Structure 1
Amino acid sequence: MQRRTFLAGAAALSGATLASLPAAWGANKLEKQKVAIAVGGKNLFYYLPLTIAEQRNYFKQEGLSVEISDFAGGSRALQAAVGGSADVVSGAFEHTLLLQAKHLAFREFVLQGRAPQIVLTVSKKTLPGYRTIADLKGKKIGVTAPGSSTAIMATFVLAKAGLSAKDVAFIGVGAGAGAIAAMQSGQIDALACVDPVATRLERAGVVRVVSDTRTLADTRTVFGGDMPAGCLYASQRFITAYPNTTQALTNAIVRALKWLQSASGEALANTVPAAYLLGDRALYLDAWQHVKEAMSPDGLMPADGPATALKTLQAFDPVMQGKTIDLAQCWTNDFVKKALANVHA
């Protein structure tokens, strides 16, 4: 009786009715109600489904009490999970491959982004005569954090041009105001970033875009195939010990993805925290149009996605070169398929 009362109260708080809730909601007892999620740059569109699930109370409606810790970049969020201070990471899929190479078993269980959304830009101030990627040799490139997905994308683009990470200096500048300030002040010569930061700098006339992965077509041009991006992943130990909790997390994210497919820009801007708008609502809505296609419509991993991610890492990362990676151990669609059968936005 107490559980039913709690769940009904959570639904009322969100403005939902019991009829609109997932059919499987509450069917399986959660092994773990309190879940700590680590993320690197929560304000970015890259992690938008996580924010929507939080703001629209989808986690609460699944019976979860979620604590989200925001770090300077995805690599820092990963470290939190490896160190045990976080249960789950909202981060880049390729990190599961890097972890397996280090004999750590982590698995993606719901995809948030089907394109990385990362944009490599160069400063018009410090590189006015920029012509090709080769011009970045010896320059400072801003990334959210060393080892993050922004650094991975930039390193891959450099590798395609015959440069390595040793040919440049990667500078961690965060995911928001710090990145913008670093570029505007001339502290960095290039920046690998995600919207709305990219659109903000482009609109201001501060940068020029030299490589873009905000659309599926551009992503395939850069990576040669579908490149999975943001996802929820956790240690295999967590998933095995808490399958119902993992399912509840998946349900919430899938509901968020379905909501994003039909939500208007105005509805989105009214849902996210005001700070995410960077003081410019119109710009935020414009940036959303740039990346909307990159959101996964259903949470499913694309068939060729894991292989594309592995090929990307092996192109430049000595840790991955020559390593045998069992891709099947790095992801699963099982939880998403169950969610799609029962979850409604």
Structure 2
Amino acid sequence: MKRRAVVGGTLALATMGLCGIAGAQVPEKKKVAIAVGGKNLFYYLPLTIAEQLGYFKAEGLDVEISDFAGGSRALQALVGGSADVVSGAFEHTISMQAKGQFIRAFVLQGRAPQIVLAVNTKTLPSYKTVADLKGKKIGVTAPGSSTNIMTNFVLAKAGLKPSDVSFVGVGAGPGAVSAFRSGQIDAIANLDPVISTLERAGDFKIVADTRKLKETEVVYGGPMPAGCLYTRQEFIDSNPVTTQALTNAMVRALKWLQAAGPSDIVKVVPESYLLGDRALYLDAWLKVREAISPDGTFPEKGAATALAMLKQFDKDLEGKNIDLPRIYTNDFVRKANVKYAKP
């Protein structure tokens, strides 16, 4: 009788376990290709944390991350079909809608762009105002990327058009540092740790700095969403569980970063990210830390700020009515924050 009771109890437990498995939401697409432009940058640090700490795998995903020279190249991968999702700049969602392609951001990585526009005082020793950049070469991660977009905006505020300067793609690593130091470019728009590397070496004058929230609002006139995960609307519609799993992993990474110390981060990121100077990397982290989103939520007024910025110089937006609610959603983030209420 006892044996029968034990067997019956075991079967009941097994049945409950099977029901639990059957009831679990399995991602529709387990293998996901993510494109990113400059993965070593702090701009994309939450993505690296989610990857390195196994958060994507914990959500049942097999994520493959492809690194490109800049955000515009990553966007091209999505448009071309070689990537399912992009870890990139929020403003691309607006630019693409203007071209008739609906892509949507579903989890925020950065609440400030972290981009710094600076002048090379070696090639421009008499620089005084943005107007002095007319006819000069400006290094950006890649033409059309967020660094290019931010520079266009700063130029527009000074009465200059994008065609008044020459943009040079220099990437987001040692190549960017080399191009600046060798005088190949007169100014640079880039991110940390590249910016801190150049700043420490000298011959460097900051024109606009969006690593801090207050300074970002001064530059853009409002909250400016930055790095995020975005994809085609069709992908979200066809793969809602997969989209939720990606969001869960990213929100978990964001919460880990809120509690992590600089030494914790150094232990997790690849050695190549440090650019040969661990102390400098840690110093750069302290400069950009507040720019990282604490929970993945898009600010309510962020989309309007981004649209107003793009309208200053993007001719593709002329006469176009942009449906801002269609460029982002906080639905997946809300669920992820319930799941990971504690870091």
Q: Equivalent residue of 1:70, what SS? A: strand
Q: CA RMSD for the aligned pairs?
A: 1.2
Determine the structure 1 residue equivalent to 2:53. 56
Determine the structure 2 residue equivalent to 1:258. 255
1:37-91 CA-to-partner distances (Å, cap 9, x unmatched) read 0000000000000000000100011110000000000000000001100000000
Aligned pair count reads: 322
1:234-313 to structure 2, matched below 5 A, reads 234-313=231-310
Amino acid at match of 2:316: V
Q: How far apart, CA to CA, are the structure 2 residues paired with 1:222 and 1:27?
A: 46
1:91-134 CA-to-partner distances (Å, cap 9, x unmatched) read 00000101100110100000000000000010011011110000
Determine the structure 1 residue equivalent to 2:14. none
Determine the structure 1 residue equivalent to 2:150. 153
Shift in Å, 1:208:
1.2
Q: Equivalent residue of 1:90, what SS? A: strand
Determine the structure 2 residue equivalent to 1:17. none
Asked if 1 retains the 8 angstrom alpha-carbon contact of 2:115 and 2:190, the reply is yes
Q: Equivalent residue of 2:317, what SS? A: coil
Determine the structure 1 residue equivalent to 2:5. none
Given candidates 80, 93, 104, the residue that maps to 2:90 is: 93
Amino acid at match of 1:321: E
Determine the structure 1 residue equivalent to 2:199. 202
Q: How far apart, CA to CA, are the structure 2 residues paired with 1:124 and 1:106?
A: 40
Q: Equivalent residue of 1:267, what SS? A: helix
Q: Residue 128 in 1 paired to residue 128 in 2?
A: no
Q: How far apart, CA to CA, are the structure 1 residues paired with 2:231 and 2:283?
A: 33
Q: How far apart, CA to CA, are the structure 2 residues paired with 1:71 and 1:250?
A: 22
Q: How far apart, CA to CA, are the structure 2 residues paired with 1:342 and 1:74?
A: 30
Asked if 1 retains the 8 angstrom alpha-carbon contact of 2:26 and 2:60, the reply is no
Q: How far apart, CA to CA, are the structure 1 residues paired with 2:114 and 2:53?
A: 23
Shift in Å, 1:135:
0.4
Q: How far apart, CA to CA, are the structure 2 residues paired with 1:169 and 1:212?
A: 21
Task: Please give the TM-score of this superposition, normalised by the length of structure 1.
Answer: 0.92
1:209-228 to structure 2, matched below 5 A, reads 209-228=206-225
Q: Residue 33 in 1 paired to residue 37 in 2?
A: no
> Which ranges in structure 2 are unaligned for 5 or more consecutive residues?
1-20
1:252-302 CA-to-partner distances (Å, cap 9, x unmatched) read 000000000110000001110000000000000000011000000000000
Q: How far apart, CA to CA, are the structure 2 residues paired with 1:264 and 1:71?
A: 28
Q: How far apart, CA to CA, are the structure 2 residues paired with 1:177 and 1:206?
A: 17
Q: How far apart, CA to CA, are the structure 1 residues paired with 2:223 and 2:67?
A: 27
Shift in Å, 1:321:
2.3
Q: How far apart, CA to CA, are the structure 1 residues paired with 2:215 and 2:298?
A: 19
Given candidates 177, 182, 185, the residue that maps to 1:185 is: 182
Q: How far apart, CA to CA, are the structure 2 residues paired with 1:27 and 1:136?
A: 57
Given candidates 164, 168, 172, the residue that maps to 2:169 is: 172
